[in-house]
Structure 1
Amino acid sequence: MNCNTCSSHACVRQVPVFRSLSDEELVIIESITESHDYKKGSQVCREGEPSEALFVVKSGLIKLTKNSKEGKQHIVRFLFPGDYFGQFALLHNKNNDVTAEIIESGVVCRMHRKDFIPLLEQNAGLAFSFLMSVSEQLHLAEESAGAMHMFEVEKRLARLLVYLYTRNLNTPAVTVQALRQSVDLPSAQKEVAAMIGTTAETLSRKLNKLEALKIIAMHKRTVNILEMEALIQIAEIRD
């Protein structure tokens, strides 16, 4: 794992929470940011270990997992370039509540607590921006948890496919007009099934159904979206 501080510039400026900062403030953030290369299968942090950094995904793909009381692993969510994690444990000076595993090799930047917290205390604009971003993540987490109980598996699957596509392109789902797009399932079907609260067998049936309707076409872990508008309608995504 090699440290590469020269890439911290691009890492910081691609994160939404820092976009409203001035160039001078961004330079300060970059000065306390370091980056590391991670290989597939390695872990950035582990559940239960002390938290001392805020992590930002510069490239690659990360899976956040959490163990239940019964010892079963639950997928919390997948992180894409521009996402960050570790903020809750960092702010409360608690242990990590998730394990971050590298699914696709990439670069992760980190800002240590001893450097980042003083910046929040000294910069009201940064503190407010960070607070709003954390609030948005909480809202999305609550919305996702509600969807697990309210929506049928087919709708949850459609939402996941639209999310994976729009998250990679940073494009609002309801504005996508292309006739054909592709997404790669970020993990094995068993893990993707767990992410939407179903079984691998049910996920396979739902994918086959969407394929039979010519909404998607499957090739191994690649999902070719043939009818994006139809998928959005199933997902019931509104502008």
Structure 2
Amino acid sequence: MDHQHSCHHHAACIRLVPIFNHLEDGQMDEIAKSAKTMDLKKGEMLFHAGDEDDTLYIVNRGKIRVYRLSDTGKEQLVRFLNPGDFTGEWALFHPGEVHENYAEAVVNTSVCLIKQTDLQKHMVEHPQIALKIISEMSERLRDSEKQTMQVAIEKVESRIISFLADCVEKDAGESPIITLPMAKKDLASYLGTTPESISRKFTELEKRGLIEQLPRRQIKINDLDELLLYAD
């Protein structure tokens, strides 16, 4: 792992993040002064489960895969972090916590780090930062609860259709084309199934005329309402 300390680099990183980029330039520059940079090579770990959780990590470039391991050692994908995404926000409100997940660089990645104590000072000066972070935490909690419920209750087919529907942007029409945000093997991990099952279900949906698989992870949904009805 390489460490750099470029103020310009940190300022650019801070400007990527919705929890900061609503502030004035001078305020973001002030936050950038308390940031550090970590460069990870593909496959290197940002943190492990059990490590102290006392830092906010912001992806500046690259991609981070966050996942958990079950008691049996089975891996389940939690989320991907792309440039502008962050993790570690839980520790801001729960000092002394440890990470429950693992975070691994999918490609060569640059991450900005802000220590919990430094960020807490910034939140006192700019309370809107805390509100933005709480909003993001609420979204993630909702997504996590939905993921847990789907894996526990729904059939694989229903999980896939629900995921595809969530990828559709507002006002995209009844025959939208979506881009899967991850490879099918990662989608399988996220939905708690196998890559083989994912491929089989996609093929079945395509044979029924509900979707069309296009190059570059694109999926055309021929009729969104019909697809959702099929899930029921």
Instruction: Determine if the TM-score, normalized by the shorter chain, exceeds 0.5.
Output: yes
1:111 corresponds to: 114
Match status 1:77 vs 2:79: yes
2:68 & 2:61 partners in 1: Cα distance?
Answer: 22
CA offsets 1:96-149 (integer angstroms, 9 cap, x no match) = 111101113222211112321222233322223322322232223223323334
Structure 1 vs Structure 2: percent identity of aligned residues? 27
Separation (CA, whole Å) in 1 of partners of 2:228 and 2:104: 28
Q: 2:100 aligns with which of 91, 97, 100?
A: 97
TM-score (norm 1): 0.78
Q: Distance in 1 between matches of 2:58 and 2:28?
A: 15
Counterpart amino acid of residue 197 in structure 1: G
Residue 139 of structure 1 corresponds to 142
AA matched with 2:3 = C
Match of 2:78, SS?
Answer: strand
Superposition TM-score, scaled by structure 2 size:
0.80
**Which amino acid is the alignment partner of residue 97 of structure 1?**
E
2:66–2:104 CA contact under 8 A, matched in 1: yes
Query: What corresponds to 1:196 in structure 2?
Result: 191
Question: Deviation of residue 47 (structure 1)?
Answer: 0.7
Distance 1:135-1:226 versus aligned 2 partners, 3 A rule: closer
> Is the aligned partner of 1:224 residue 2:218?
yes
Tell me if 1:25 matches 2:27.
Answer: yes
Q: Deviations over 1:162-216 (max 9, x none)?
A: 66xx6xxxxx712336975644634x62x43121122222111112224433723
- In our comparison, the structure showing a higher alpha carbon Rg is 2
- Give the aligned length: 224
Higher mean C-alpha deviation, range 59-68 or range 137-146: 137-146
Superposed CA deviations along residues 41-63 of structure 1, whole A, max 9, x for unmatched, are 11111110112210112222221
Report the RMSD for the aligned CA atoms in angstroms.
Answer: 2.9
Structure 1 residue 40 corresponds to structure 2 residue 42:
yes
Classify 1:138/1:180 alpha carbon distance in 2 versus 1 (closer, same or farther; 3 Å).
closer
1:15/1:46 CA distance change after superposition, 3 Å: same
SS of 1:216's equivalent?
strand
Match of 1:209 among 155, 180, 204: 204
